[in-house]
Structure 1
């Protein structure tokens, strides 16, 4: 059920990150290696990227399969960025939302993606509607479970939550309302990546000087890839990766949860 990837690090072409690796996100649209639900991610795709001196990312999204879009192939060849979030989509249910349902969803400096499904959608999510102001419900970007999850996350961010806390709060609320849900969430502001592993695979690759990638599955067989345990929230930037159990209400990582060169700094400049 979908595949996604986020990257922060030295400037790279979209093609180098998303197309060229042997098991790239592009290839995962028809041949994922570790996807547990669904087989083909052909119901839409999208990529968002950041450029220096502008906190608001650009996006390119389409309703069809990524392999059929020659314009994306041309973009991927020449567009370069030090911060990217991209996804290929396997729809939970049939719908008419077209590219509006394709991640990444966006608001201001944020990009967001959901890999998974809210079980029993939409009925199971009804108890959580009260958590959103009416204007947020009227502003949903699509009539899908992922768009609703994004509205919940964005509301927490606007209420002052840090990214990991926002994701953790939303995941626990959704899991309580719809226990069989799969809630792998991916969020970035172009400097920091936050993600959750809840019901599907999540991996990261961090190497000093080479950036950090967080993805549904590895795009190559480099031994630096590490799998994130289920029921975990991850925070990453160029300095390193932190893992913390989602059962922890404070989402406060312990020293044993530090990976790849130490904890991320609170905020780093985008280059």
Structure 2
């Protein structure tokens, strides 16, 4: 469906992850060994919080319908920007048209969201899902994707106060609607959301066979284990990423996030919790 990268840590040029690693996000847009689709060429997006951003500031977005490997503006921006927290996403469209407003990540105030996967038979469920979204939010919905609809459903259900709970309630509501409309296994994917400080990444599907998700091991430990690998010295000790698939083949660098789990990156540390395992 798509591939994505979420980074938090010391200020970093996004190019380090989306262009310059052995299996960078742009490389995955051309050839994704673990993705449902090998090629993810239906647009891309990057969203970042400036290095000097005040708490609560909205992220900046750059989105394009160009394939990520083809867009020279992405090359320029990714090397020029420095950010302590950014999202990047390459898209393989599953139905909604290829247009800029359908490219991830999506933004609402200081919140940012991206998704790899699908709400199955979204056309069947779309009306019922949209009717559950707070009416005051409708003017903020710019595109036509299932992902953006799910994001605003989570905002409606209290994302700002309780990100894990709100995502759980939004997904359960989609499953309720899908069940009522005889849509089997309506939710599939991995989801990332941030308020500009903490990243929450969810691996969940209704059939409990979700898209892949990985987190990076402690950077300080990796630098000690591999002192001769120059590229590791580009990262500060607190650097962490959560990704759709590993950015390198370095043994021990990436660990798979379990099924039905939320991974949390906060203040340079990683933790994980069970997510929607009661069904």
Q: TM-score, normalised by structure 1?
A: 0.84
Question: Deviation at 1:180?
Answer: 4.0
For 1:154-209, what per-residue CA distance to the aligned partner results, in whole angstroms no more than 9, with x for missing partners? 22345x53222222222233234342431311111221110111221111014252
Asked which structure has the greater CA Rg, the reply is 2
Deviations 1:28-48 (A, max 9, x none): 11111211x222111110001
Q: Supply the distance in 1 between the matched residues of 2:12 and 2:6 (Cα, whole angstroms).
A: 12
- Aligned residue for 1:191? 197
**Alignment partners' CA distance in 1, 2:140 and 2:78:** 30
Shift of the 193–137 alpha-carbon distance from structure 1 to 2, 3 Å rule, reads: same
Residue 110, structure 1, aligned to residue 111, structure 2: yes
Residue 14 of structure 1 corresponds to which residue in structure 2?
A: 14
Q: 1:125, CA displacement in angstroms?
A: 4.1
> Structure 1 residues 157 and 86, CA, compared in 2 at 3 Å: closer, same or farther?
farther
Match of 1:182 among 170, 188, 193: 188
Q: Cα distance, 1:248 vs. partner?
A: 5.2
Structure 1: gaps (5+ residues): 250-271
Distance 1:112 1:226 in 2: 22
Aligned pairs, number: 246
- Structure 2 gap segments, 5+ residues each: 179-184, 205-209, 221-236
Instruction: Give the TM-score normalised by structure 2.
Output: 0.82
Separation of aligned partners in 1, 2:85 and 2:270: 16
In the alignment, which of 179, 195, 203 is matched to residue 214 of structure 2?
203
Q: Quote the RMSD (CA, aligned, Å).
A: 1.9
- SS of aligned partner of 2:69: helix
- The CA distance in 2 between the partners of 1:100 and 1:20, in whole Å, is 27
SS at match of 1:68: coil
1:133 corresponding residue in structure 2: 134
For the residues of structure 2 that align with 1:133 and 1:180, how far apart are their CA atoms? 22
- Residue 141 of structure 1 aligns to a residue whose secondary structure is coil
Displacement of 1:134 in angstroms is: 2.5
Residue in 2 that maps onto 1:262: none
Matched residues in 2 for 1:138 and 1:131: separation? Answer: 15
Superposition pairs of residues 36-55 of structure 1, within 5 angstroms: 37-51=36-50, 52-54=52-54, 55=57
* Alignment deviations for residues 199-222 of structure 1 (CA, whole Å, 9 cap, x no partner): 211110142523110111111123
* 8 Å Cα contact 2:44-2:63 kept in structure 1: yes
- Within 2, Cα distance between the matches of 1:73 and 1:14? 10
Residue 134 to residue 190, structure 1, CA distance change in 2 (3 Å): closer
Alpha carbons 2:238, 2:268 under 8 Å: kept: no
Measured after TM superposition, the shift of residue 138 of structure 1 is 4.5
Aligned to 1:214: 242
Q: Residue 72 of structure 1 aligns to a residue in which SS?
A: helix
